[in-house]
Amino acid sequence: MNDFDALAILIKEFADARNWEQFHNPKNLAMALTGVAGELAAEFQWLTLEQSELSKLSPEQLELIRLEIADVQIYLSRIAEKLQIDIPRAVKDKLKINDARFPKA
pLDDT in tens, 22-70: 999 999 999 999 999 999 999 999 999 999 999 999 999 999 999 999 9
Distance CA 62, CA 5 (A): 26
pLDDT of the residue at 95: 97
pLDDT of the residue at 11: 97
For residue 105, name the pLDDT band (cuts at 50, 70, 90): confident
Angle (CA) 79-85-91 rounded to 5° is 105
Question: What percentage of the chain reaches a pLDDT higher than 90?
Answer: 94
CATH of the domain at 17: 1.10.287.1080
pLDDT of the residue at 1: 84
For residue 75, the enclosing domain spans 3-101
At residue 20, does pLDDT exceed 90? yes
pLDDT of the residue at 71: 98
Structural domains of the chain, count = 1
pTM (predicted TM-score): 0.91
At residue 84, does pLDDT exceed 90? yes
